[in-house]
Chains A and B, each alone.
Chain A
Amino acid sequence: MRRSGAGGSGSGTARRNRKSSSSSGSARDRGARPRADGGMRVVVPLQGVVQGRGGLVIGSLIPCALFYFFQLYIKRNRAPRPLPPPPPAAAASESPPGSASTVVSPIHRSLSRGLLSPRAALPAPSARGAAVRDDDSLYYAGLRRCAEDPYHPASNPAGIIQLGLAENCLSLDLVVRWMEEHAAGAALMAGGEDEEERELSVRGLATYQPYDGILALKMALAGFMRQIMKEVSFDPSQMVITSGATPAMEILSFCLADPGNAFLVPSPYYPGWDRDIKWRTGIELIPVPCRSTDNFNISITALEIAYNQAKKRGIRVRGVLISNPNNPTGRFVPKQTLHDLLEFVTEKNIHLISDEVFAGSTYGSGKFASVAEVVDDLEDFDRGRVHIIYGLSKDLSLAGFRVGVIYSYNESIVTAAAKIARFSSVSTPTQRLLVAMLSDQKFISDYLKINSERLRKMYRLFVDALDQVGIECFKSSGGFYCWADMSKFIGSYSEKGERKLWDRLLEEAKVNVTPGSSCHCIEPGWFRCCFTTLREQDIPILVERLKKVTDSHKLNR
């Protein structure tokens, strides 16, 4: 394994595994030379200075320390390897088919993943393969604990109540009923009026279909999204369908940024992105804090600062990533903010990714506006910067079916993503079933209306319940979460204090919630609580459980 010039002495920083292209080689040499010279120039005179007292020890320690810090400084401020401009598509395929090795145009990766497996005689897995350090994330730890001991009113009433996972159980009965009435035929049928189509039915199900989804589903989804996003029209040909929103986000990220590049992400943000986006792509996520005093609104000033800081560190920012309705706060991004974001990304010549998976799960009084609604509001705006992530796991309670959407206004992105979708495609029978469901206009309208009412009702009940124990919630308008301020119950106003409270909630109250730190919230004490997995009758139980922690806190004060 080739290592960069001076190795990674003492620090687990980026290991350049890629055999260098000529340009990267020279950059590496540029990095190596000053280190060696700088070291020598510092050591010699210093030894003269300290020889008088402390002698050899200090004489070697100080230069070593300086050497070390100098090295660290160089590493951190190293200019990004100048990547060769993306070659025209034809050039990269020049190597004749029968040639020795198929080397793809250099893809430089900065792997800052943890240690390779130390198992002696075994071939080590890759740095990416070394099991992801989920243990550090309370988000995943909580999910695991809950899975071990899940609450069930009858069979396990003392189990852990799961408020950390966004599943919508409120309107499942509606979907079940539709399935009971329609599914058996729907999956098998081609779904077409055409005699020929129906005849092909099973055969059509089984054979290879376009990896980015069948046209019928794209059309049905375009119609569904139009209904949800207030009659904005969506073009099926700009859609790529993937097996869930998770791969949709990863595939889009792979297309927009190279390893080592970054997205600016207003925080708090969905904890899953830390793994879903960063893991295999090598892309960095830079949290840009939003503040409660500002209603957690996205601040362009803060984005500007973060952008410049990244630039100073030599990191190329390729886009801004938002969720709308926001996860975890449940807030709608105001239209004005969307306009501001469009201007910001234009000014910086970067992308805007809007994750709108909760767009159909709104219940608040405000008006939800998708970025699709504003994309034509600005003159001379390059729509090719805008990309939307969507999926059916949240709005239609169909997580198990695995349907996600990349909707992009950028033709090159759609083309590339459509090809990458081969690694994450949806099975055809599932697609057919969904076409049938989404085409059932009456069902969809009823579902959206009833689901919204139920969400609103449960949200209210939940907020009131938390209020009973003295916990205030941020005013949410969409999604499955309450963003609860439990700062008055944490011992020390710090991440540590928050973690202690989270732990108490999990172990004493046996309630799993997501701590704000997992969401990169800079204000300690905020917790994300999903309210859609509960039934009304579970609420009093929840209150009792929470009291175990909140009451004892009052006692301790």
Chain B
Amino acid sequence: MSEAVVPDAMVSPAVGGLHGEKAGGPAVDFSYVGIDAILEQMRRKAMKQGFELNIMVVGQSGLGKSTLMNTLFKSKVSRKSVLATAQEKIPKTIEIKSISHDIEEKGVRMKLTVIDTPGFGDQINNENCWQPIMKFINDQYEAYLQEEININRKKRIPDSRVHCCIYFIPPTGHCLRPLDVEFMRRLSKVVNIVPVIAKADTLTLEERDFFKKKIREELRANGIDVYPQKEFDEDAEDRMINEKIREMIPFAVVGSDQEYQVNGRRLLGRKTKWGTIEVENIAHCEFAYLRDLLIRTHMQNIKDITSSIHYEMYRVRRLNENNTVMAHANGIPEHHLSKEKFHSL
């Protein structure tokens, strides 16, 4: 009956530039179409919608996780600041506590969720301490998946997926501990891990460089791919930028939410008898690099990798396992499981 002509995807490369003058003849009007106005439209839409960011902090108690979060976002975003408990007890099991804030800067609104994991690595027996964390991360993926496959679904699916997990390495100065290796090995497969050396003010510069080199070697030896992952580099430019970052991780950070007077300026830092450590001074610690990576340059990229790679992998796994489980339950032979698409029904 009715048929449309199959679209001839005649992708003609740049059919005439949309700008420029015609050669010869009287001067022409600048022939402007206005396609680049779409960038402005996108920016407007993004500002109106706002952004969401979910960061998880993992590490033993006392490593300065909450302080670092407060320093990163220059406000009391950590759980401790919000839920003032008289005595901070180390919990008997790992808990996962998440707290959200609406922050705004120059018209850009962001819903920041900080997910804390008190109790990690604090027990006597730390075997399987990553399990509650893995479960939490997978639960967020599951919630997103469920919403996505609904028939009536929300206009904007609320994104509670963990975009980035900051792992705090205690500054022993030697090498990674088995707990660190195990945790990072397992979790680097489901979430972007950014390892940092906590309380780096206990290491001299040489000790720090040695420690970092050792850590990088161990990560490589164990096949742990931390953010920015080598395999997700998109092009040569990306690779160049990311290689520079990969040579610097893990960042040695110092956190502080107190300001001191240094050389006539008020700066965030830690004051000791032998001097003041300036948090944002790259000669003192690498906090500024971490902040730039996480917030100023790679935030969108972190979110993209979470949604288009980690989440998709979870989805594939989940949808595939559903097929085999249901089939086995009904005694249908395996060879019927070749169909992958819904429309075969």
Q: Do A and B bind each other?
A: no
